[in-house]
Amino acid sequence: DQQVKQNSPSLSVQEGRISILNCDYTNSMFDYFLWYKKYPAEGPTFLISISSIKDKNEDGRFTVFLNKSAKHLSLHIVPSQPGDSAVYFCAASEAQGGSEKLVFGKGTKLTVNP
Amino acid sequence: NAGVTQTPKFRILKIGQSMTLQCAQDMNHNYMYWYRQDPGMGLKLIYYSVGAGITDKGEVPNGYNVSRSTTEDFPLRLELAAPSQTSVYFCASSYGLAGHTDTQYFGPGTRLTVL
């Protein structure tokens, strides 16, 4: 049973446009959400996170939106750059429950075309 | 800082062989984790440790063992390797804040094939 779902395996956008990556979760106890970026043959690197007490968190070109009622979050990248081409993983945790465990989605491969 | 380092980068094992995947971090992090990533799948937690001498099972612990004798090192042991253990293995570490999730830093991975 997948608790974190990324239903789009891939996404292709033009350089300069907005990239929107989506993530849904089923566990209502999740209260902390993260996005990781992964290049081939490398480990994932942390990108941005959001706590359930917020509905938006912004860091430069990256913004994460959280809709708790819909159990949905999204990552917006504006403007998209070719160097953003990577696999993006959504992850969730029950932080207040004292859990250190992250549950990952399957990832979305983003391709930004010049 | 080297961050999180993993050795080896690649390994091919025969069915029934055993090996140890090494992981070390130099960030003085309390928490360390082992994940596996199968093709087209997300990362799944195998084992984790919240400090030296303390380990606990994750989602997919069967066929693996861990130990944590120092803060820096967290080796993963595969006994009696099986084809189902063919995967990419990632080690990660985090500072560890009770009641909070903090950023996990990942190593570059070990690609293991069991034939």
- The domain locations on chain B are 11-97
Gap from B110 CA to chain A (nearest CA, Å) = 9
Q: What residue in B sits closest to A92 (Cα-Cα)?
A: B101
Q: Can you tell me the distance from the alpha carbon of B95 to that of B105, in angstroms, rounded to the nearest whole number?
A: 9
Report the pLDDT value the prediction gives residue B1, as an integer from 0 to 100: 75
- Mean pLDDT to the nearest integer, A61-88: 97
Q: Which homologous superfamily does the CATH classification assign to the domain defined by B11-97?
A: Immunoglobulins (2.60.40.10)
From chain B, the residues in CB contact with A95 under 8 A are 99-101
From chain A, the residues in CB contact with B31 under 8 A are 100
Give the closest of B59, B101, B105 to A93, CB-based. Answer: B101
Report the pLDDT value the prediction gives residue B75, as an integer from 0 to 100: 98
- The pLDDT confidence band at residue A102, using thresholds 50, 70 and 90, is confident
The rounded Cα A79 to chain-centroid distance in angstroms is 16
In order along its 115 residues, chain B shows pLDDT tens digits of 789 999 999 999 999 999 999 999 999 999 999 999 998 888 999 999 989 999 999 999 999 999 999 999 999 999 899 999 999 999 999 887 655 567 889 999 999 999 9
Q: Which residues of A87-111 are buried (b: 16+ CB within 10 A; e: fewer)?
A: bbbbbbbbbeeebbbbbbbbbbebe
Closest CA to B54 of B32, B36, B85, B76: B32
Q: pLDDT tens, A72-85?
A: 999 999 999 999 99
> Where does A1-114 show beta strands of DSSP type E?
4-5, 10-14, 19-25, 32-38, 45-51, 56-59, 62-67, 72-77, 86-93, 103-104, 108-113
Mean pLDDT (chain A, rounded) = 93
pLDDT at A43 over 90: yes
- Mean pLDDT to the nearest integer, A83-97: 88
Q: Can you tell me the distance from the alpha carbon of A37 to that of A91, in angstroms, rounded to the nearest whole number?
A: 11
Which CATH class for the A4-113 domain? mainly beta
Q: What angle do CA B91, A39, A3 make, to 5 degrees?
A: 65
DSSP state of B73: B
Identity of residue A42: E
